[in-house]
C-alpha cells in the first residue's frame, strides 16, 4: 500500500495515534509528514518520545492533545512548536498529560493486556501524580503498600518503522525496542512502514526478531528512508545536522512555514523528499 | 593545558560510578562520564538506557542520542523500555544520572514548566530519581535554576543526591545542602551568589582536575570536543 493510502484509510480525525515507540530511533517521520499533508485534525498524540516528530505535527495544527513523557527535539532540547502551542495557543491550544517513560510504557502495556490499569512505584512525591484522570493511589491488596495506578492507555493507531517486513505485516525490528511491543498491541490498527519487504521465509527464519506479528497490522508500506532523520540500525545513522536545522527553523513562524514547505508540503511523498535531500548543496 | 569546566564536570561524574555499578546513563555529559569511568576505574560498570539498551562498553563513536548507531552497536542487549526500567524499579540500579531546569534544596528536579515556559517533560527522569539508589545531577549553576522549592516537581529522589555543577560538587537530600568540592578558581561567594538556598561549606575541598588517564579517556569518548570543549 502507498503511504498516502495507508494514512488516508487508517488515520482518522480525532484518533489516538502513537508514532513514538523508538524514542529516538526508527521514528516514522514519513508517515507523520503524510498526516500533515492530508491535514488530519484533532489527533491525540501518545508517546513516550517521538524525537522532533510530535513538535512538527503540533506546529502543523494536526493535534488537540498530547500524552507523553517528553516532547521536544532530543539533540537540541526544546520543542519550539510545542512551546508555542502550550504557551500561546498557536496554532491552537492543546492539552498535555505528562507521564514518565515507565508510567507511559506500563499504561500502554495495560491496554495491550486488556486490563484497566498498571501499578508502579514511580512518581510518588511528584506533581505528575496530581493528574487524577490517569494516575490514582492504590494499595497493594496483599500487603497494603501504597502504589500508584496508571490508567490503561489505549490507541486507535500505532505507526512503527521497521527494518523489514513480509507482505502480511510480520515485521523484524533490530536495535533498541522502546515500547514497540506495547504500542502495537495497545492499538486497534497498526501501520508498518519498512525499509524492505522480504519473503515470509526470511521472517520465519528468525522468529525472535518478529516484534510485530502481522495479524495485528492494517497496512504495510514499503518506505525506504521513512524514518529520516531518525536513525535506523543497519540502514543509516541519525542526521544530526537535519535535526539542528529544524530546531533553528522552528524558532519562528515564518521560518517554520518555509521549512514545512521545503520538506513536507512541497514534496509529494518520501521519494521526492529523499531526492530533495540528495540534491542539497 | 587547563581542563575545560565541562571536562572537570565529566571527570567528576565518572568518579561517581563505582566499579561493578549498574548505571542509568541518560544523555549528554553522562554518556561521556560513563565512557570515562569504563575506560579508567570502573571497567565492570553496566550501563542502562531507557530506550532499551544495556551496554558494557563505551559507545563505539560520537553520539548525540542514546538511540544513535554507535550506542546500539555492540550493546550487550537491545531490549525494551519496560525491561530496562522495570529492573530500575525493582532496585537493580546503583546510580542514575539526571539533569533539569530547576533543582531545590531537597533534590527535587523540575523539567516540566517554569512560569509560563513549557519544557519537554520528565522523559525517564522521574523514574530514575524514584528508583536509583544514588542520583547524580549535572546542571549549569545559575541562581534561577537553584531555588528553595522547585515550581513543579517532575522528579523526586528517594536516595542520596550528588549535584555536579559548573561551579562544584554538592550533596543534597540528606540534611542541609553541603558543598563537597569547588572547581578550580571558584570560591564560596561565587557559589552562594548563584544559589537560591543556603549551602554548608564546612570541609569543602577543591575538585581534583582530570587526571591524565581521565583526560585521555575524555578525548577518546568525545574526540571533537562536542560535549566537553565549551566553557561554563
| One domain for residues A129 and A8 | no
A36 within some domain:
yes
- Flag whether pLDDT at B232 surpasses 60: no
Rounded mean pLDDT, A197-217: 98
| One domain for residues A232 and A121 | no
* Number of DSSP helices (H) and strands (E) in chain B, helices first: 7, 15
| One domain for residues A159 and A147 | no
pLDDT band at A120 (very low <50, low <70, confident <90, very high): very high
| One domain for residues A52 and A136 | no
ipTM of this complex? 0.97
- Flag whether pLDDT at A181 surpasses 50: yes
Closest-CA distance of chain B to residue A4, Å: 28
pLDDT computed for residue A173 by the predictor: 98
A175 within some domain:
yes
A208 within some domain:
yes
Chains A, B: CB pairs < 8 Å: 160
Q: Do B80 and A180 touch (CB under 8 A)?
A: yes
Q: Is B27 on the interface with A (CB under 8 A)?
A: yes
Q: Which of residues 48-67 of A touch B (CB under 8 A)?
A: 48-49, 51
| One domain for residues A54 and A76 | yes
Say if residues A198 and A166 touch (Cβ distance below 8 Å).
yes
- Say which of B64, B118, B126 has its CB closest to residue A75: B64
Task: Please say which residue of A135, A151, A167 terminates a domain.
Answer: A151
User: What's the start-to-end Cα distance of chain B, in Å?
Assistant: 17
Whole-number average pLDDT of chain A: 97
A225 within some domain:
yes
| One domain for residues A45 and A159 | yes
pLDDT band at B224 (very low <50, low <70, confident <90, very high): confident
Q: What does the DSSP assignment read for chain A?
A: --HHHHHHHH--TT-EEE--TTBTSS--HHHHHHHHHTT--SEEEE-S-BTBHHHHHHHTT-EEEEEES--SBTTTB--HHHHHHHHH-SSS--EEEE--HHHHHHHHHHHHHT-SEEEESTTTTSSGGG-TTTEEEEE-TTT--EEEEEE---EEEEEEEEEEE-TT--EE--S--BTHHHHHHHEEEEEEEEEEE--HHHHHT-GGGEEE-GGG-SEEEE-TTTTTTS-BTTTB---HHHHHHHHHHTTSHHHHHHHHIIIIITSSSHHHHHHHHHT--
What is the share, in percent, of chain B residues with pLDDT greater than 90?
84
Rounded mean pLDDT, B200-213: 95
What is the share, in percent, of chain A residues with pLDDT greater than 70?
100
Chain segment A3-16, per-residue pLDDT in tens = 999 999 999 999 99
Q: Give bridge partners of residue A50 from the DSSP assignment.
A: A23, A52
What is the share, in percent, of chain A residues with pLDDT greater than 90?
98
Compute φ and ψ for A163, nearest 5 degrees.
-75, -45
Chain segment B140-188, per-residue pLDDT in tens = 999 999 999 999 999 999 999 999 999 999 999 767 899 999 999 999 9
**Contacts of residue B27 in chain A, CB cutoff 8 Å?**
74
Residue that has been written with the C-alpha cell 536513525 in this structure: A231
Closest CA in chain B for residue A231: B68
pLDDT computed for residue B225 by the predictor: 86
Q: Is B51 on the interface with A (CB under 8 A)?
A: yes
A104 within some domain:
no
**Contacts of residue A180 in chain B, CB cutoff 8 Å?**
80
| One domain for residues A266 and A185 | yes
A20 within some domain:
yes
- Flag whether pLDDT at B77 surpasses 90: yes
- Say which of A105, A177, A181 has its CB closest to residue B85: A105
Q: Among B69, B73, B107, B126, which would you mutate to test the A interface (most chain A Cβ atoms within 10 Å of its Cβ)?
A: B126
Whole-number average pLDDT of chain B: 94
Say if residues A10 and A36 touch (Cβ distance below 8 Å).
no
A130 within some domain:
yes
H or E element at residue B7: helix B5-15
Distance CA A231, CA B68 (A): 6
| One domain for residues A163 and A241 | yes
Q: Which of residues 93-152 of A touch B (CB under 8 A)?
A: 96, 98-103, 105-106, 109, 120-128
Task: Please say which residue of A108, A129, A151 terminates a domain.
Answer: A151
Q: Which domain holds residue A220?
A: 3-99+154-275
pLDDT band at B1 (very low <50, low <70, confident <90, very high): low
pLDDT computed for residue B231 by the predictor: 45
Strands B134-139 and A95-98: unpaired
Q: Do B127 and A100 touch (CB under 8 A)?
A: yes
- Flag whether pLDDT at B230 surpasses 70: no
| One domain for residues A141 and A163 | no
- Say which of A77, A98, A175 has its CB closest to residue B122: A98
| One domain for residues A141 and A160 | no
Read off the CATH number of the domain in which A253 is found: 3.40.1080.10
Which domains, and CATH codes, for chain B? 5-221 (3.40.1080.10)
A158 within some domain:
yes
Q: What is the pTM of this model?
A: 0.97
| One domain for residues A80 and A19 | yes
pLDDT computed for residue B61 by the predictor: 84
Q: Do A102 and B112 touch (CB under 8 A)?
A: no
| One domain for residues A146 and A221 | no
Which residues of B are known to be catalytic?
A: 50
Distance CA A218, CA A236 (A): 26
Number of domains forming the structure of chain A: 2
Per-residue cell: B123: 522523559
Amino acid at each position: 500500500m502507498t503511504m498516502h493510502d495507508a494514512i488516508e484509510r487508517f488515520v482518522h480525525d480525532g484518533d489516538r495515534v502513537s508514532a513514538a515507540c523508538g524514542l529516538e530511533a526508527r521514528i516514522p517521520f514519513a508517515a507523520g509528514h503524510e498526516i500533515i499533508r492530508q491535514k488530519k485534525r484533532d489527533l491525540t498524540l501518545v508517546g513516550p518520545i517521538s524525537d522532533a516528530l510530535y513538535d512538527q505535527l503540533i506546529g502543523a495544527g494536526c493535534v488537540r492533545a498530547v500524552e507523553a513523557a517528553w516532547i521536544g527535539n532530543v539533540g537540541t532540547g526544546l520543542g519550539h512548536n510545542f512551546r508555542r502551542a502550550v504557551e500561546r495557543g498557536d496554532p491552537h491550544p492543546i492539552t498535555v498529560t505528562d507521564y514518565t517513560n515507565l508510567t507511559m510504557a506500563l499504561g500502554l502495556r495495560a491496554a495491550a493486556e486488556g486490563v484497566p490499569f498498571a501499578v508502579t512505584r514511580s512518581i510518588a512525591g511528584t506533581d505528575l501524580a496530581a493528574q487524577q484522570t490517569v494516575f490514582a493511589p492504590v494499595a497493594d491488596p496483599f500487603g497494603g503498600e501504597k502504589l500508584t495506578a496508571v490508567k490503561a492507555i489505549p490507541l486507535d493507531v500505532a505507526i512503527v518503522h521497521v527494518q523489514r517486513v513480509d507482505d502480511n505485516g510480520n515485521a523484524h525490528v533490530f536495535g533498541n525496542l522502546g515500547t514497540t511491543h506495547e504500542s502495537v498491541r495497545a492499538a486497534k490498527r497498526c501501520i508498518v512502514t519498512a525499509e524492505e519487504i522480504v519473503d515470509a521465509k526470511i521472517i520465519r527464519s528468525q522468529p525472535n526478531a518478529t516484534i510485530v506479528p502481522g495479524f495485528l497490522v492494517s497496512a504495510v508500506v514499503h518506505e525506504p528512508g521513512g524514518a529520516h532523520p531518525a536513525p535506523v540500525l543497519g540502514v543509516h545513522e541519525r542526521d544530526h545536522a537535519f535535526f539542528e536545522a529544524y530546531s533553528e527553523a522552528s524558532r519562528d513562524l515564518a521560518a517554520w512555514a518555509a521549512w514545512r514547505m521545503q520538506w513536507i508540503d512541497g514534496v509529494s511523498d518520501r521519494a521526492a523528499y529523499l531526492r530533495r535531500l540528495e540534491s542539497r548543496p | 593545558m587547563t581542563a575545560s569546566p565541562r571536562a572537570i564536570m565529566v571527570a567528576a561524574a565518572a568518579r561517581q560510578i563505582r566499579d561493578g555499578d549498574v548505571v542509568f546513563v541518560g544523555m549528554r555529559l553522562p554518556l561521556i562520564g560513563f565512557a570515562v569511568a569504563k575506560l579508567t576505574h570502573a571497567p565492570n560498570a553496566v550501563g542502562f538506557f531507557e530506550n532499551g539498551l544495556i551496554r558494557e562498553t563505551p559507545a563505539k563513536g560520537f553520539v548525540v542520542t542514546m538511540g544513535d548507531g554507535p550506542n546500539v552497536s555492540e550493546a550487550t542487549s537491545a531490549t525494551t523500555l519496560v525491561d530496562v526500567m522495570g529492573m530500575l524499579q525493582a532496585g537493580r540500579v546503583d546510580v542514575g544520572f539526571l539533569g533539569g531546569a530547576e533543582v531545590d534544596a531537597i533534590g527535587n528536579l523540575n523539567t516540566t514548566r517554569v512560569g509560563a515556559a513549557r519544557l519537554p517533560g520528565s522523559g525517564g527522569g522521574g523514574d530514575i530519581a524514584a528508583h536509583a539508589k544514588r542520583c547524580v545531577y549535572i546542571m549549569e549553576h545559575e541562581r534561577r535554576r537553584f531555588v528553595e522549592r522547585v515550581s513543579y516537581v517532575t522528579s523526586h529522589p528517594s536516595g542520596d543526591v550528588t549535584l555536579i555543577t559548573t561551579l562544584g560538587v554538592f550533596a543534597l537530600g540528606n540534611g542541609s545542602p553541603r558543598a563537597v568540592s569547588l572547581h578550580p578558581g571558584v570560591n564560596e561567594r561565587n557559589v552562594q551568589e548563584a544559589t537560591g538556598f543556603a549551602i554548608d561549606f564546612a570541609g569543602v575541598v577543591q575538585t581534583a582536575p582530570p587526571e591524565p588517564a581521565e583526560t585521555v579517556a575524555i578525548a577518546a569518548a568525545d574526540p571533537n570536543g562536542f560535549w566537553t570543549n565549551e566553557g561554563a
